[in-house]
């Protein structure tokens, strides 16, 4: 069975797919106070240029080739901790725009740039990001790429002010 996504163009080389991403929220109230976390789960992002992965350590188990310009695709999960009201749509727009324009050296590099941009712009104390690297490999046709189930990295970070 073949599954597909309807990709929406954000700019010349950046796309999002969805839904099926979901808005998420977690509210905890105790005698000491209330904490609010908002977020997203399963947000598909892809850019077709402006991403590299080169100069990494290699050993006998390395299968990934180096690439100076590659497709960068991920399924983003993010949760951000805040005290007051934060506009979910504006946070998502900032995440999407940062992903699109960031000159990426790796998924880790872009994940950090996304988190940093959100913390700079909004009254958010902490953001947790998960961005697995989804590989799209070229076929015999130069401009046709296929997603793979091959091993991929699960990149996670928590950034705080």
CATH number at residue 73: 3.10.270.10
159, 126 Cβ separation under 8 angstroms: yes
Q: Residue 148 sits in which domain range?
A: 7-55+66-160
Asked if residue 16 belongs to a domain, the reply is yes
Dihedral-angle region of residue 90 (phi above 0 means left; psi in -120 to 50 means alpha; beta otherwise): alpha
**CA atoms of 97 and 92, how far apart (whole Å):** 9
Asked if residue 60 belongs to a domain, the reply is no
Asked if residue 73 belongs to a domain, the reply is yes
147, 136 Cβ separation under 8 angstroms: yes
Please give the pLDDT value at position 1.
45
Please give the pLDDT value at position 136.
75
Asked if residue 140 belongs to a domain, the reply is yes
Asked if residue 61 belongs to a domain, the reply is no
Question: How many domains does one find in the chain?
Answer: 1
The most distant pair of C-alpha atoms in the chain lies apart, rounded to whole Å, by: 62
For 99, half-sphere exposure in the C-beta direction (CA atoms, 13 angstrom radius) is: 28
Please give the pLDDT value at position 71.
82
40, 75 Cβ separation under 8 angstroms: no
Cα–Cα–Cα angle for 114, 68, 133, rounded to 5 degrees: 45
21, 6 Cβ separation under 8 angstroms: no
Asked if residue 1 belongs to a domain, the reply is no
| Residue 112: both structure tokens together | 């950090």
Print pLDDT tens along the chain (161 aa).
455 678 888 888 998 887 779 999 999 999 998 999 999 999 999 998 888 787 778 899 887 778 777 788 899 999 999 988 999 999 999 999 999 999 998 889 999 999 999 999 999 999 999 999 887 777 777 677 777 777 677 899 999 99
Please give the pLDDT value at position 96.
96
Asked if residue 2 belongs to a domain, the reply is no
Closest by alpha carbon to 17, among 116, 149, 147? 147
| Residue 121: both structure tokens together | 């712009």
Q: Is the bond preceding residue 148 a cis peptide, omega within 30 degrees?
A: no
């Amino acid at each position: 069975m073949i599954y597909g996504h309807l990709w929406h163009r954000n700019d010349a080389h950046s796309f999002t797919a969805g839904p099926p991403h979901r808005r998420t929220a977690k509210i905890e109230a105790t005698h000491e106070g209330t904490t609010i976390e908002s977020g997203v789960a399963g947000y598909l992002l892809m850019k077709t240029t402006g991403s590299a992965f080169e100069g990494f350590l290699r050993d006998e188990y390395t299968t990934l080739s180096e690439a100076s310009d590659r497709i960068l695709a991920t399924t983003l999960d993010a949760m951000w901790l805040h005290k007051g009201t934060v506009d979910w749509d504006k946070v998502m727009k900032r995440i999407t725009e940062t992903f699109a324009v960031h000159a990426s050296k790796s998924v880790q590099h872009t994940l950090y740039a996304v988190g940093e941009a959100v913390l700079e712009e909004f009254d958010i104390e902490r953001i947790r990001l998960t961005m697995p690297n989804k590989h799209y490999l070229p076929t015999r046709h130069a401009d046709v790429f296929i997603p793979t189930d091959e091993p991929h990295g699960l990149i996670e970070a928590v950034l705080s002010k």
